[in-house]
Structure 1
Amino acid sequence: MSSEKYDDYNFPHTHTDGKVAEGHPGNVTEIQGAQVHQLRAKLEAKGYTARLDTNTLLRYLRARKFDVALAEAMYVKAETWRKENDIWGTEKNLDEIVATWDYPEKSEIFKYYPQYYHKTDKDGRPVYIEQLGKINLTAMGKITSQERMLTNLAVEYERVADPRLPACSRKVGRLLETCCTIMDLKGVGVTTIPSAYGYLKKASSISQDYYPERLGKLYIINAPWGFSTVWSIISGWLDPVTVEKIKVLGGSYSSALLEQIPAENLPVELGGTCKCEGGCPLSDAGPWNETEYLGPFFKSGANASGIKSAAAGAAPAPEATA
């Protein structure tokens, strides 16, 4: 099936800065283009109709080094998870949950484990901040369930794809596919991570298995003594491309963050100047909450399966071309 059926994007959908790596929209070889068509045909033959646009399929292919069979298996696993995952605790699938999700316990949960998107970096990408130092699953379990926490995490990943990244792409006038992440280890002790290991492992697998190629940069700040030694070992197991995106910093991290993130976009507690009313963790400030940058993911307002985008009800954005 032709890609036109799926590629009716309503935001800039190719990279235009001249620095895009091979295999990304805007720099796809003839062979890679054929692999996209091959992957789409295989998935269509299995009855899949959603998330078959070229940019999505390229992410799966990049995650599997353009091995079509491995990319197909990864996609099928993700789609099965979306529909049948036990954590949903409902007959709804993830697409349906996203449309109606409400998480009123967020402000209480964030007292123990802040995880939030906040404005953008100098490249225009969403900034994601995670603070592990206060995590206390026992206390959090009195507020909500791990199932709801994991569901909220999945919903937020969905909102990265739509509306966050499309809104950011509209604002800068070019495709943005990744986020800038800050992982704050301040307060993390010898008992913090082990006590939360089960939950964190599940949360990590959601990111790695179902949302490939979303990491732009990762700053690990307030790394405790000895972490650099551990990291030197761990980094040897990772893809060099991934390692290049990660910086491990101790307590003197402000200058490194400010090289990438404008001071006015970085919360005060992390060395910036931003003081959102009600607190940065709960503000969800960013282009995705600015009407001029919102609009449906696809020009039709829905993809081939009829699933409306998260921003479909928002005011249409100005026509964006790349």
Structure 2
Amino acid sequence: MAEKTLKLNPKYDDYDFPTIPPDPLSGHPGNLTADQEKAVDDLRAALEKEGVTERLDTLTMLRFLRARKFNVDLSKQMFLDCEKWRKEFGGGVDNLVNTFEYTERAKVFEYYPQYYHKTDKDGRPLYIEQLGKVDLNALYKITSQERMLQNLVVEYEKVADPRLPACSRKSGHLLETCCTIMDLKGVGISKASSVYGYVQAASNVSQNYYPERLGKLYIINAPWGFSGIFSVIKRFLDPVTVNKIHVLGSGYEKELTAQVPKENLPKQFGGTCECQGGCELSDMGPWQDPAFTKPPKWLNKKDDAAIQNPESLSGSAGVPEGGAAPAAGADAPAADAAKEAAPAAQ
């Protein structure tokens, strides 16, 4: 069998981690047709003509192309829209990721836990979100939707670098996606409707600006009506996306621990991990290991302006960086499926 390779562009591809996944699907590095390779070159050339000079590396081109079924024109428009948003959001995303401090993180997590924690059996970052604990009234006394969305974006940037590169180095092959656990325990109509606006905004960010980051999605403690609604919704989803989603009730532990090693899974979900200070604030993973992590390439790539934190929103000092992004890396259909089905809890 021929060795799997990826044609690299010397101008833009400066990778210091593996670039081939172990079993690449069609359209992924190591499994590209001649037409798909040409689409990468065509998309990059089209963006250069528009004056784009950043984020034109091959892996990024492929993610945007996969998100639009390798339609170069649609992928180009998606990318240009993303670049426009990056310049405008929060004073500029490159600036935001360097300067944003979510000092209220620990208090926010009391009402809406959402965090990265270690890896699944395939070496991907594990993301956990507990929608059932959401108390929006209490939450907005601590923070604001704007700052929650800014934290969301900062965490997506950290997924791209340093989290996924560190996981790729440790596993010895390319990893581009996350494994998500969405806990619906306690989700009812009132909670689902109250958080709908934020979840919608978060889903839009994921869908439009951070495509192709969902590896697997485990929806646990799903209420009785959820499976029925999802069985209808999934008919309209791409089969590749449907295969990533696992809807489980309260007896989820056996299937979940088949994907996530118990030593990596917080105890409350059937694992054995009990990080000092709480798993939700530890940000433990290969990205914290000097053997696998390197300074992110976005470090100090910023404008002169700094993002200031209002005194009224200050929280506990010394909270570790690395809180999580809602529905992190979820392809939009998956996030929307969970969002639409959540009201069935009652």
Q: TM-score, normalised by structure 2?
A: 0.83
Three-state SS of the structure 2 residue aligned to 1:180 is strand
Three-state SS of the structure 1 residue aligned to 2:195 is helix
1:38 is the counterpart of 2:42: yes
The answer to whether the 8 Å contact 1:10/1:296 transfers is no
Out of 71-80 and 179-188, give the one that drifted further.
71-80
The answer to whether the 8 Å contact 1:10/1:295 transfers is no
Per-residue CA distance 1:42-87 (angstroms, 9 max, x = gap) = 11111111110000000000010000011111111111111113xx
Per-residue CA distance 1:259-286 (angstroms, 9 max, x = gap) = 0010000000000000000000000000
Output the amino acid matched with 1:209. Answer: N
Three-state SS of the structure 1 residue aligned to 2:218 is strand
Moved over 4 A (4+): none
- Please report how far the alpha carbon of residue 296 of structure 1 lies from its aligned counterpart in structure 2 after TM superposition: 4.6
1:70 to 67, 74, 86: 74
Could you tell me which residue of structure 2 aligns to residue 5 of structure 1?
11
Could you tell me which residue of structure 2 aligns to residue 263 of structure 1?
262
Could you tell me which residue of structure 1 aligns to residue 232 of structure 2?
233
Identical columns (%): 61
Could you tell me which residue of structure 2 aligns to residue 188 of structure 1?
187
Output the amino acid matched with 1:52. Answer: L
Separation in 2 of the partners of 1:77 and 1:136? Answer: 33
Could you tell me which residue of structure 1 aligns to residue 310 of structure 2?
none
Output the amino acid matched with 1:29. Answer: T
After superposition, residues 101-250 of structure 1 pair within 5 angstroms as: 101-250=100-249
The answer to whether the 8 Å contact 1:222/1:250 transfers is yes
The answer to whether the 8 Å contact 2:94/2:298 transfers is no
Separation in 2 of the partners of 1:143 and 1:284? Answer: 21
Per-residue CA distance 1:166-188 (angstroms, 9 max, x = gap) = 00000011100000000000010
Three-state SS of the structure 1 residue aligned to 2:217 is strand
Three-state SS of the structure 2 residue aligned to 1:293 is coil
1:278 is the counterpart of 2:277: yes
Output the amino acid matched with 1:278. Answer: G
Count of matched residue pairs: 295
Separation in 2 of the partners of 1:127 and 1:213? Answer: 16
Per-residue CA distance 1:116-166 (angstroms, 9 max, x = gap) = 000001100000000000112211110011100000001101100000000
- After superposition, the CA RMSD in angstroms is 1.5
Three-state SS of the structure 2 residue aligned to 1:282 is helix
Three-state SS of the structure 2 residue aligned to 1:133 is helix
- Please report how far the alpha carbon of residue 302 of structure 1 lies from its aligned counterpart in structure 2 after TM superposition: 7.1
Separation in 2 of the partners of 1:50 and 1:307? Answer: 12
Output the amino acid matched with 2:46. Answer: K
The answer to whether the 8 Å contact 1:216/1:245 transfers is yes
The answer to whether the 8 Å contact 1:116/1:130 transfers is yes
Separation in 2 of the partners of 1:260 and 1:119? Answer: 13
- Please report how far the alpha carbon of residue 237 of structure 1 lies from its aligned counterpart in structure 2 after TM superposition: 1.6
Output the amino acid matched with 2:18. Answer: P
Three-state SS of the structure 1 residue aligned to 2:219 is strand
Separation in 2 of the partners of 1:234 and 1:136? Answer: 27
Separation in 1 of the partners of 2:261 and 2:101? Answer: 31
Separation in 1 of the partners of 2:264 and 2:131? Answer: 21
Output the amino acid matched with 2:20. Answer: T
Separation in 2 of the partners of 1:237 and 1:105? Answer: 39
Output the amino acid matched with 1:229. Answer: G
Output the amino acid matched with 2:236. Answer: W
Output the amino acid matched with 2:55. Answer: R
Output the amino acid matched with 1:9. Answer: Y
1:14 to 14, 20, 33: 20
Out of 121-130 and 22-31, give the one that drifted further.
22-31
The answer to whether the 8 Å contact 2:98/2:301 transfers is no
Per-residue CA distance 1:227-278 (angstroms, 9 max, x = gap) = 1111111111211110010000000000111100100000000000000000
Three-state SS of the structure 2 residue aligned to 1:138 is helix
